[in-house]
Structures are given as C-alpha cells and as structure tokens.
Chains A and B, each alone.
Chain A
Amino acid sequence: MDGNNQPIAGVQVSLRGNAREAAIDPATSDAQGRFAFGGLVAGEYSLSAEGSGFGPVPYAETPDAFRASEIRVGGDSGDKSVVFRIVPRGVVEGVVRDEFGDPMMRANVFLLRPIWREGRTTVSSWGQKSTDDRGRYRLGNLAPGTYMVCTGGGQNAVAPLTGPVDYTARVDNRYYARTCSRALQLSPGERAQIDLSPAAGTAATVRGRVRNLPPQAGFSAFLLSQDDGQQASFGAFVDASQGTFTARGVQPGHYLLRVQSYGSAQMLPLTAEVPLDVGGADIDGLEVELGAEAAVTVAFQGVDEDRTKGFTAELRGVGTSGITRGPPPPKAGEFQFQGLSPGRYRLVLRTPAESCVESVKLGEREMRGAVFSVAAGAALHFDVAVSQSCGAIHVRAVRDGEAVPRAKVVLLVSGTASDPGELREATTDDEGGFLFSGLPPGRYLLWDWALDGKGAMTGPSSLAAVEQQATVVEVTAGDPMKVDVPVLAAEGAGQ
C-alpha cells in the first residue's frame, strides 16, 4: 500500500530468511496489492520491496533507520499476514561551492541521520555521494525522516592557499572543515534543495615522541576521530630512529592517538592509546609510553566448531567513545582479541535465540556486564557458561490501554541506567509487540517511546533521566513474560 492506504500493483517483494537458507524467489503484488510467500520454515525473516520509482524499501521501515523490522513466522501462529506500507521517497540535492562561489568538483557529500543508540543521541552515516563537475549532488530514494548533509572534513579536505606562497613558511594547515546543514525533516515525496559551502578552517600539527621504543623497532601512529559521524583518521609521519611522529593537517576534534610498534618476529609488539583533544593550535611535545599488547580470550563453554553460529563476542572500549573491536573468527567457540591497548573494556556477548549467557567468569569472579581493566601485557581469559533455561519478555507498547505499533523499545541488559552496559533496542511490530528472547533470569529495566511520523524520535539524553519511569521486570526461565510498557513522550521531536 502507498501512504494513502491505496494498493500498489507490480511491486517486487523479496523475503530473506535471517538464517542462511537458499534464496527465496521474490513475489509480485497483484492489483489489490497482495503478495504471498508459501512453504516457509519457522524463523525470522526480513522483507523488502522494489518498484517503479522507489528502490529497495524495507518492511515497516522505522524512523530509527538502522533497525529493520523482522517478521517472525511459524510456531503456533500459523500464517502471518502483514501490511507493507510504502511511503513516497524523497530527495536531497544541491550544489557544493567553495569560498569563492566556484562549484566544487568531486567533493564528498555525506548524508547523516540522527539516531538514538546505546543510550544517547548520535549521528550516523546514511550514504555518500560525490559532486559532479558542476558541484551537484543528489541523494535520492530517501524514506521520510530526519537528515543532515555534510561536506568537508577528513584527510583529503585540503583547502588551497591563495596568492604567492612561500614554501618554507607554508601553511599546510588550511582545510575544509566538516560543514553540515541543519537537521531537515524530509516529508514523504519531498525534494529538498540544500546547497553547501564548507568553511575553511585551521588545522593543527601534532608532534610527539615515543619514550620507550625498543631499538631496531619501527612504529606507526594514527589519530582516530572519536566524533560522531566522522570516520576520519590522520596518519602521522614517523621517524623511527628518533622515535618521533608528526601528524599534519589535523582538524579540531576529539581523537584517540594510537601508537603501535613493530619489529622482528621475536620482538613483542607494544601499543598505546591516548585520548587527545585537538583545537586549532599545534600540539608539541607529546610523550607516549608504550605498553605490551594485551589479549583477551572469551571461551563459550560447550560450544564446538560446528555450533558456533549465532555466538558473537564484542569488546568495547570504555571512555573511548565506544570503539568496538570486531571479533575474529571463532575457533571452537573461542574468541581471541589480540593487540589490545591497556584500558577499560566491557564484553558484549550474544548467543543464539534459544540460549542465553548464564555467567561470565574471570577466574572465580562473575563479570557479567561488568567493566574491567586490561593492564599492559595482560592475558585475560573469560569462561562463558551458556544456559538453555532462559527467559524472554514479550513487550507490548501501550498508550491509554491501546497497543502502539512502531514504538521504540529499549531493554537494559547489564549495567545501570546511569552507566548502561548492554542495551537491546527494537521497534514494535504492527500489533505493538516485540519479543526479547535469550535472557538469563534476572532483573531488567524497560522503556519505550512512540515515534512521530517524521522520525524525530531521538530519545532522552541519558537513561538516568528516565530511570524512574522504567518498567522493571523480573525474568524467570520459561515462557515469555508478557509486559505492557507505557509509551513515554518522545524527546527531541522536531530537533
């Protein structure tokens, strides 16, 4: 159906199983807009549609752009019927010009969406285009929602100098700063014209020295941006004989300086990570002390090589803007994280739907959801016990006793509202429900928020602010607990 509840014929609808089965042949909607898939095995599926004038559109697209709604098929519920609404697509287009009004050719234009994730509002990249020779860009096939477009920033956004240049006194620090439009509410079918002109700014040179570089060793130094929506990194020129490094053209922002040594095979690699705030001024005389790389092993007990599907382990740095280290391929249920810098981390573990994490032991200590310190050179081993007696919560978002479809649900799995550990987020289905499964017995906090039609839901700035409004659930093993969670007022609407 379209936005006015009129059926659309001739739409190609694709269904993909979330377990890796063979491809399912797509279906086509008929004159009444109907389509059907038969012979499905029970499980979770995602649905998308493609038709004339719109690209792939996910089923039940939520303004929370990063969460596709899944359809649960099978069990006792039998056939599943869904209404697939396709809202007209919008366009953001415009021209990028430099400070002289000349069109900027091959300038990168980033499309961002503010989202609420991990307990805070952040912006996330939603697409990228490069301008043509007339400085034009066009980002089409956009769902209604909140968007921003940005240009500039990054290591290649060098702004040119004007007039005669003295090479020795050259300022290699002029750059086009990341310049963004205001957040824009894109209505269904809207065509928004946003012209951009990046501001030229002053970048800094960051110089420093590694205090304890082993003889004969080389090293690398990178500044990794910790700011939202930025994937910029600045490599430094290094002089291994002096142990010095110089990163030029570093744009103001919050960074993590990562230094790593390397050498012969006998030499242990050393590493350090230092948070660094860069303003417009040069930074000189940084002193970096390297420590031995640490390692963390996470062993899921009783998981052998054939049954590793669905198990994941992530290690998140604490205080480093949530850098997530992707897990290396599991070896018989064992995840190994190597080359870690000393620091504070938190483990986030996932298990297949029917099981849950019962305990996470570091030696004798229970560490489930806890933040732990990793010292230089340390090798920590976590034993994870997996239990089959898990609980589940079936959440129903309600307002005045009525179910609210497409509400955002947040479940605090570990940590506290003021210092959240693992959060699970979901969007309620057409009946206002969502099932969180694989939960170890224990106490959980739940919230949900309604989304307005324009995707303005950006959540509270901290969960601590809404701790009192949380719905508290004691989960026991067995059948899903049915919980009605009242919908809270959306914050940040119309940002």
Chain B
Amino acid sequence: MRRLRFVLPAMLACLLASAADRELTGRVVDANTGEGVARAHLTIRFFAAGQPAPELTLLSDADGSFKVTNMPDGQYQVSCDKAGYLSASQTMAAMPPTIHPDDKRTSTMVLKLTAQAAVEGTVVDDRDTPADNVSIQLVRQEVMNGRRQLVVSQVGGTDETGSFRIFGLPAGRYFVSVSARLGGTRRTKPLAYPPFYYPKAIDIAAAQAIDLKAGDEAEIKIRLPEPMPAYQVSGVVVGAANAGVTLTPQEPSTGFQRSVGDVNWDPKTSSFRISHVPPGAYLLQADVMQPGKNALFASVAVTVGSANVEGIRLEPVNAALDGTLRIDDSTSARNAAGSVAAQSERYNNMAQVEPDGKFHIPNLRPGRYRIVPQIFTQQACVRSITAGGRDVRDGLMVTGGVAPDPIEITLTSHCGSVEVDLATSDGLPPNLTAYLLRKAGDELVLEKQGYQGPRTSDGVWHFMLQGVAPGDYVAYVWPGDAPIEYTNADYMKQLESYGQRVTVTEDGKATVTIDRPVLMPAKN
C-alpha cells in the first residue's frame, strides 16, 4: 500500500516530464536530387478528439531542416507545401511514454518532395481568335476497384487572352479534355463546339496523350474545331417546379462528366430546352431535389442526329431498394453486417440494417446495381442474394416507378477459407496481395483479398483468406497498387496463366499454390 502510494505520483511526474520533451526534427529534401529544400511550408496538425487542434506552420531552413521542441503527445500529421513541388504529408503515431524522464524522445522524419509537372498553353477558336472561358480538364486513365476509368486530375480555364496554366500535376499520362462555348455573334446561331480531346479527337482512343515526368512543363496550343451544326433537345419534367437537367455524352467512364448545351428551364411549364447540342449519343438526366423529401431522378438515352429532339417526357421517381438481411444461425445478422450498399459503376449508396434485419436504400438513380452487404467479420459470408426468387447476387436493374421485389440477403457462418501460397524469390515487391475472383455474368467480381503473412523458413509467403463464400474462384497474387483490370474478363484472359482455380466448400479449407505474381499489368 505504501509502495503504491509512492509509485503513482512518481509515474505521473514522469509522464508529465516526458510529454514536454518530445521533439520533432526533420528535413525536406528534393526526391530526385536529395538536396534540402529551403523555405518549404510545414504545417503540423494534431488529431485531437472532438475539436480541431490549433495548427503550427513553420518554414524549413536553408538546408531544408526543421525542428520543433516541446511537442505534445498524440498522433499528428506534418504536411509540406512548396511552389514547384507536389504536396507531401506524413503522419506520426503517438509515442509510448518513456520510463526515464531524462530520455529525449525525438521523432525524425524526412519529407521527400517530388517536382510537380505543369501544362500551360493557349486556346484559339477556329478563326484564330483567343478563346476565353474554355474549360480544360486534365484526365487520367486509372484503374480503380479493378475497373479502368477516366479520372479528372486537375481542371483549369482560359482567361480572356485564351491562356491557361494547370499545375501541381503528378507524373503520368494525361489526356486534355476541352469544352468550349461559342462566343460573340455565332452564339445566336445553331452551332456548337463538340467537347473533344486534344488535339481534335472526339473519342479518347484517338486523343494524343501527354506524358509528363516529374518537373516537366508542357506547352500545348489548342485550336477549337469548326463549330458543328447543333440542335435542341427539349421536353418536360413531369410534376417538377425545379429540376436540374443535364446532358452528358455517353462515355464509358466513371467520375468524369462533361455536360453539353445551354440549359433553359421554365418553371411555369416544367419544361426544358437545351440548345447548342452537337450530334452525338447522350444521357439526359433530371434530378429533382426537394428539401425534406426524397430526391427524384429520371434519365433517358438521347441520340441527336441532324434534327431537334423534341417532346421528351421525363418522369422523375424515387427509386429505392428494400430488403432483409438474415444469417443462417442464431446470432443477429447485424452482428455480421451493419449496412448494405447498392453499387453501380458511378454510384455507391449505403443504408443501415435495422434491428429486425430490414434495410431501405433510397435515392437511387436508375441503373444496374450490385447489392453488397458490408460484412465486417471473418465468420460470415454471403450464401445468397435473391429478389422474388431470382438470384440477383451479380446485380439487378433499378428502373424506378416500378417497386422492385424485396431483396433477401442470406449470410452464412459456414464460410470456407483459402490459403494462397507463393514460393518467393528475392526482388519481389513488399506489397503483394492475394485476390480471389469470381465470375459474375460478363464480369469478374472480387470476393476477398488478403495481404501476405510472414515468409516461412522454406521461402513461402502465406496469404490467409477467411470468410469466403462457398463457390468456385480463381486466385491471383499481384502488388496491391498494380493497375489490374480484374473486373474485365477479356483483360484477365491474358493473365490466365498466373491464376489458379480453387473451389471453396462450406466450412472447408482449401489451399492453392501460385507460381508467380502478376508484376506487369496486361495490355488493354
């Protein structure tokens, strides 16, 4: 008892003392040359619970180094900005308290700054007059979630001299998307510039890529094409006093949209008139947002040829999915999955699972969705997903207007597991990951992925994948950041020789041996 009394204040004193002499030293260097970067802006941000903690901003000194003494304990992030470089940041974990109050607790970090790339240039119209207000989007093709898609990296616009500059670009291959409106006299005429890719491609496949290395400054000259004859797309949005109407080219992309035409909305008649639409295939969408009510959506494919498209009738509806989540043993399904997602190529809508297992996913735009219960335990996996007795595990169409059959999700605790073994050799990247893919219609679906376990004495890496639904799979290994288009069945055919088939049974444990990981992405 006496001893305890003595120890406690001593420990407290020790904690307080140590909290005050935590120190951070670091250096900002050029990733390429290794030389220090002077006068870089460093911002230190502590992650305090509840409140935004005060930030500290300081400059690196002439050789790039910096030092902060008397740092409080806790997790913090150091971010670094310097003109001409890409931003960098690093997170430092909380430190355990030291035993000896005299210990200097110094954290050291090296922030490597990579030189930015930039694209600048000018835009002139088809009469060589500088074109202002032209929207320039730098687009990258990226593989995300196993799907190749276009992603806008940075955007910019031209000033009244037709000039633009887009900076802060990481190295990579870019395409330049250009959207321009006709100015001056010709706006009154039925003419429009079609959206295009530099230099003058309608389809991205014909576009000229701009490959930028770190530090590159590219300069491009863009000339707008001859304006094309343009037409009007008009119609009504039934029952909507206010609707957001957009017309976007049908492009196989996610996260990248560019609208065409000038939208006129008349609230009195709920009608829209989109002028200056060049010929092409479009998706026409109407969103009706009402405060305190469910959003309503409508969409229709529109092809503009050589005439106005009139009399379109859009009836926005609130499409929703209802369903029940069950699990085949006595435990509550909510202990295995707290929410259910409806995922399409563009959207991801989530809903909570209620205590009685019911869920309701509102505000869905019409389209094809896959139902994905968000399972957070290794002890549960999907047994079946049905709607009206049909198997909809690989997706279902949401049309709106017609209430779809309720969805029945049944989870099972009788999942299998797969051990993926990879004989290792030197020189393999450290972030190898094992993937289990399942065929779902025309696509492949990722069932599970797992990171490597420890390398055994016999030179094998084990990847343990648990909670795998019974079924047939192909197992692969590739680096976690490799741009593999695993949802694309044609693409994966090229990588067939890297995969191994495996069948998982209820409560079964399967083992597959992979000869080699996929280290080079296949050609698209």
A residues apposed to B, CB below 8 Å: 10-12, 22-23, 25-28, 50-55, 89, 100, 102-105, 132-135, 138, 140-141, 158-170, 172, 237, 248
Contact call A169/B184, Cβ cutoff below 8 A: no
In angstroms, how far is the closest chain B Cβ from the Cβ of A377? 30
Stretch binding the partner chain, chosen from B68-76, B327-335, B354-362: B68-76
Q: A102-B83, A172-B54 are in contact. Are A26 and B188 (CB under 8 A)?
A: yes
User: By the criterion CB–CB under 8 Å, are B57 and A158 in contact?
Assistant: yes
Chain B residues with CB under 8 Å of A135's CB are: 83
Q: Could you say which of A10, A132, A140 has the most chain B C-beta atoms within 10 Å of its C-beta?
A: A132
Q: Is B266 in the interface zone, CB < 8 Å from A?
A: yes
Residues on the A chain within 8 Å of B20, using CB: 168
Q: Is A248 within 8 A of B54, CB to CB?
A: yes
List B110-162 residues whose CB lies under 8 Å from chain A. 116, 118, 129-130, 132, 159-161
Are A10 and B184 in contact, CB atoms less than 8 angstroms apart? yes
Partner of A165, one of B51, B69, B116, B168: B69
Other than the given A167-B69, A168-B72, 16 more pairs (CB < 8 A) read A11-B184, A12-B183, A28-B184, A28-B185, A51-B184, A52-B184, A55-B132, A132-B165, A133-B116, A138-B159, A160-B57, A161-B56, A161-B57, A164-B67, A166-B69, A172-B56
Contact of A167 among B68, B165, B187 (CB under 8 A): B68
Bound together, the chains give a CA A168 to CA B72 distance in angstroms of 8
Q: List 19 A-B contacts (CB under 8 A).
A: A11-B185, A26-B187, A28-B188, A51-B183, A55-B132, A55-B160, A100-B39, A133-B83, A133-B84, A133-B168, A134-B83, A138-B159, A141-B160, A158-B57, A160-B58, A164-B68, A166-B70, A167-B72, A168-B70
Complex alpha-carbon distance, A248 and B129, angstroms: 50
User: Do A22 and B69 touch (CB < 8 A)?
Assistant: no
- B59 on the interface (CB 8 Å rule)? yes
A190 to chain B, nearest CB (A): 14
Rounded to whole Å, the gap between the CB of B161 and the closest CB of chain A is 7
B264 interface contact, C-beta 8 A: yes
Task: Please report which residues of chain B, range 24-73, place their CB below 8 angstroms from some CB of chain A when the two chains form the complex.
Answer: 39, 41-42, 51, 54-59, 61, 66-72
Asked if B394 is at the interface (CB within 8 A of a chain A CB), the reply is no
**Residue B419 at the A interface, CB < 8 A?**
no
**Chain A residues positioned under 8 Å from B129 (CB to CB):** 52
B184-A12 in contact (CB<8A): yes
Docked pose: A12 CA to B84 CA in angstroms: 41
The distance from the CB of A453 to the nearest CB of chain B, in whole angstroms, is 23
The 3 closest A-B pairs by CB, nearest first: A164-B67, A168-B70, A133-B167
Residues of chain B within 8 A of A161, CB atoms compared: 56-59
Distance to closest chain A CB from B11 (angstroms): 21
Partner of A140, one of B39, B72, B160, B187: B160
Measured CB to CB, the nearest residue on chain B to A163 is B61
B264 interface neighbour in A23, A50, A54, A141, Cβ under 8 Å: A23
State how many angstroms separate the Cβ of B382 from the closest Cβ of chain A.
Answer: 43
Distance in angstroms from A283 CB to nearest chain B CB is 17
> Is B447 interfacial (CB-CB < 8 Å)?
no
A167 pairs with B160, CB closer than 8 A = no
Q: Is there an interface contact between B71 and A167, defined as CB atoms closer than 8 Å? A: yes
Contacts of B56 in A (CB 8 A): 161, 165, 167, 170, 172
Please tell me if B216 contacts chain A, counting CB pairs below 8 Å: no
Q: Known interface pairs A103-B83, A105-B81. Does A50 touch B184 (Cβ–Cβ under 8 Å)?
A: yes
Residues in B with CB closer than 8 Å to A166 are: 68-70
Contact of A160 among B41, B51, B72, B83 (CB under 8 A): B41
How many residue pairs, one in A and one in B, have C-beta atoms under 8 Å apart? 97
Task: Tell me if A164 and B183 are in contact (CB < 8 A).
Answer: no
* Contact residues in B for A51 (Cβ distance below 8 Å): 183-184
Query: A237 vs B71: C-alpha distance in the bound complex, in angstroms?
Result: 21
B160 touches A89 (CB 8 A): yes
Q: Name A51's closest neighbour in chain B (CB-CB).
A: B184
Q: How far apart are the CA atoms of A175 and B135 in the complex, in Å?
A: 34
Measured CB to CB, the closest approach of chain A to B128, in angstroms, equals 11
Interfacial chain A residues near B70, Cβ < 8 Å = 166-169
Question: B residues within 8 A CB of A162?
Answer: 58-59, 61
Query: How distant is the Cα of A277 from the Cα of B203 in the complex, in angstroms?
Result: 60
- A161 CA / B83 CA spacing, docked (Å): 18
Is the Cβ of A160 less than 8 Å from the Cβ of B59?
yes
A52, A158, A159 interface centre (most CB from chain B within 10 Å): A52
Least distance between B153 CB and chain A CB atoms (Å): 15
Measured between beta carbons, the chain A residues less than 8 angstroms from B188 are 12, 25-28
Residue ID in chain B nearest A10 by CB atoms: B185
- CA distance in complex: A26, B68 (Å): 62
For B42, B56, B84, the residue with the greatest tally of chain A CB atoms inside 10 Å of its CB is: B56
Near A by CB (< 8 A), chain B positions 162-214 give: 165, 167-168, 183-185, 187-188
Mark B244-287 against chain A: 1 for CB-CB distance below 8 A, else 0.
Answer: 00000000000000000000101000000000000000000000
Q: Which residues of B contact A165 (CB under 8 A)?
A: 56, 58, 67-69
- Smallest Cβ-Cβ distance to A98: which chain B residue: B39
Asked if residues A105 and B184 are in contact (CB atoms below 8 Å), the reply is no
In whole angstroms, how far apart are the Cα atoms of A141 and B66 in the complex?
44
Q: Which residues of the other chain, B, contact A26 by a CB distance below 8 angstroms?
A: 187-188
CB distance from A236 to the nearest CB of B (A): 11
Inter-chain CA distance A391–B39, complex, in Å, is: 67
Check B69 against A53 for contact (C-beta < 8 Å).
no
Closest CB of chain A to B163's CB: distance in Å?
Answer: 9
Q: Which residues of A contact B161 (CB under 8 A)?
A: 140
Closest to A162 in B: B59
Q: Are B118 and A133 in contact (CB under 8 A)?
A: yes
Report A-chain residues with C-beta under 8 Å of the C-beta of B55.
158, 172
Smallest CB-CB separation from A11: which chain B residue?
Answer: B184
Q: Report the bound CA distance from A300 to B160 in whole Å.
A: 47
| Measured CA separation A164–B65 after assembly (Å) | 9
Q: Looking across the interface, which residue of chain A has its beta carbon closest to that of B68?
A: A165
When the two chains form their complex, are residues B159 and A140 in contact, meaning their CB atoms are under 8 A apart?
A: yes
A16 shortest CB reach to chain B, Å: 13
User: Measured between C-beta atoms, what is the minimum distance from B195 to chain A in Å?
Assistant: 21
For A100, the chain B residues whose CB sits under 8 A away are 39
Chain B residues near A50 (CB-CB < 8 A): 183-184
| Across-interface contacts of B61 in A (CB, < 8 A) | 162-163
Q: Are A22 and B184 in contact (CB under 8 A)?
A: no
Shortest distance between the CB of A455 and any CB in chain B (Å): 20
Complex Cα spacing A54 to B132, Å: 9
Which residues on A sit within 8 Å (CB–CB) of B68? 164-167
- Contact: B69 with A164, CB < 8 Å? yes
Chain A nearest CB from B451 CB (Å) reads 36
A141-B160, A169-B70, A170-B56 known; A52 vs B183 contact (CB < 8 Å):
yes
| Nearest Cβ on chain B to A390's Cβ, whole angstroms | 30
Q: Give the nearest-CB partner of A169 in chain B.
A: B70
A120-B116 Cα distance, complex, nearest whole Å:
48
Give bound CA distance, A166 to B66, whole Å: 12
Contact, CB under 8 Å: A102 / B39: yes
Residues on the B chain within 8 Å of A89, using CB? 160
State the CA gap A132–B168 with chains docked (Å): 10
Q: Which residues from chain B contact A53 at a C-beta distance below 8 Å?
A: 130, 160
Q: Across the interface, which residues of B come within 8 angstroms of A10, CB to CB?
A: 184-185
Q: Which residues of A contact B42 (CB under 8 A)?
A: 160
CA distance A10 to B81 in the complex (A): 47
CB distance from B503 to the nearest CB of A (A): 55
Chain B residues, Cβ within 8 Å of A169: 70
Closest residue on chain A to residue B44 by CB atoms: A167
Q: Bound complex: CA of A160 vs CA of B60, how far in Å?
A: 10
A26 CA to B184 CA, complexed, in Å: 10
A102 to B83, alpha carbons, bound, how many Å? Answer: 9
Bound CA span A133–B84, Å: 6
Residues in B59-103 with C-beta less than 8 Å from chain A: 59, 61, 66-72, 81, 83-84
Q: Which of A51, A102, A172 has the most C-beta atoms of chain B within 10 angstroms of its own C-beta?
A: A102
**Closest residue of B by beta carbon distance from A133:** B167
A61 → B minimal CB distance (Å): 17
Minimal Cβ-Cβ distance residue in B for A138: B159
Q: How far is the CB of A158 from chain B (nearest CB, A)?
A: 5
Q: Which of A89, A104, A170 gathers the greatest number of chain B CB atoms within 10 Å? A: A170
